Amino acid sequence: MPLPAITVVTPVFNEEAVLPELLSRLTALFDAHPDCAWHAVLVDDGSRDRTAELVRAAAARDPRFELVELSRNFGFQSALSAGLARAAGADAVVTMDADLQDPPEIIPEFVAAWRGGAEVVRAVRRSRSEKGLRRVGFDIFHALFGKLIDYPIEPNTGTFGLLGRDALATFNSLPEHHRFFPGLRSWIGFPTADVPYDRKERAAGQPQQTFHHLLRYALDGLFSFSRLPLRLLTFTGVIIANAGFAAAIFYAMRRILDLETAPTGYTTLVTLLLFIGGVQLIGIGVLGEYLGRIYDEVKRRPHYIVKPPARGPRA
């Protein structure tokens, strides 16, 4: 029997500070578990530092490492998709961040769960090392998200985990542009196992996902897995319309019964006008979020573009 082929897929963006440690810990892991045929695909997501160079050098030294270089920065989800596409055909792929917040040493536990029959393995955080605002942001996101989406996602999971051959093929065949990996991974509905772990601090360097990235990611998760915002709009509309109707009857009665005294209502009018105007704008904004996503989907552009090979001057 040939050894199971296991590919580790990791997007890297400006990670020159952690790369040496990442590469050495992966190498140690691979060497310690000769019962699998290991491979690592590092997807350079348009780094502006020496990341691509370091991975290229590692690939030249050790054929188990491979560099996929994107033509520019496409963002984590797209880089991940590029890596998963490259890993097609492996018996299983492990998806993980480059910064060693996800410790590679627990990968053998994923493989054990996969060997036990799971098609999807998710690493579930027992603890998180993020502090301060980032931490609060993550907590709020997970609390809200759990309530909002149509399809529940285990709150303490992220990218870290394993996909078996079938899950990988299914994931690679999903056509959608806005990808929210943890959501899609549960959405495909394959037999799943969870492996608990402690999420570490970044081994070196700075977080590469800016607040803006994370916000966009959160919105992608919400809008691609829920129609609740649309439904809320409808409810809000119904409530406001009813309130307006009730107010109309109330004021008409006052007029008819001659209860009206001095002319009133300037403040009320301004307040209502601003309130309703605001609600309408929010409504248009929410519609816009969906519309924008539809626009991106219908363009059918690829999620990422691999950098063309370097060539010398043309004759």
By the criterion CB under 6 A, which residues form the site for ligand UDP? 11-13, 15, 45, 73, 75-76, 79, 97-99, 101, 207-209
Q: Which is nearer to ligand UDP, 95 or 118 (CB)?
A: 95
Say whether residue 66 binds Mg ion (CB under 5 A). no
**In the bound complex, what is the minimum distance in angstroms from residue 46's beta carbon to ligand UDP?**
8
Task: Tell me the pairing of strands 92-95 and 5-12.
Answer: parallel
Nearest to 129 by CA among 94, 158, 106: 158
Q: How many CB atoms lie within 10 A of CB 275?
A: 11
* Residue-wise DSSP of 226-268: --HHHHHHHHHHHHHHHHHHHHHHHHHHHHHTT---S---HHH
The item of ligand UDP, Mg ion, none sharing an interface with residue 12, based on CB under 5 to 8 Å by kind, is: ligand UDP
Q: How far is CA 294 from the centre of its chain?
A: 18
Q: How far apart are CA 153 and CA 156, in angstroms?
A: 9
CB 12 to ligand UDP: min, Å: 5
User: Does residue 95 interact with Mg ion by CB under 5 A?
Assistant: no
The site that binds Mg ion (CB under 5 A) totals a number of residues, namely: 2
Q: Does 7 bind Mg ion (CB under 5 A)?
A: no
DSSP strand E in 190-235: where?
Answer: 192-198
Member of 47, 51, 95, 101 binding Mg ion (CB under 5 A): 101
98 contact, one of Mg ion, ligand UDP, none, CB 5-8 Å limit per kind: ligand UDP
Cβ-based nearer residue to ligand UDP, 209 or 226: 209
Based on the shown chain and the rule CB under 5 A, indicate whether residue 15 belongs to the binding site for Mg ion. Answer: no
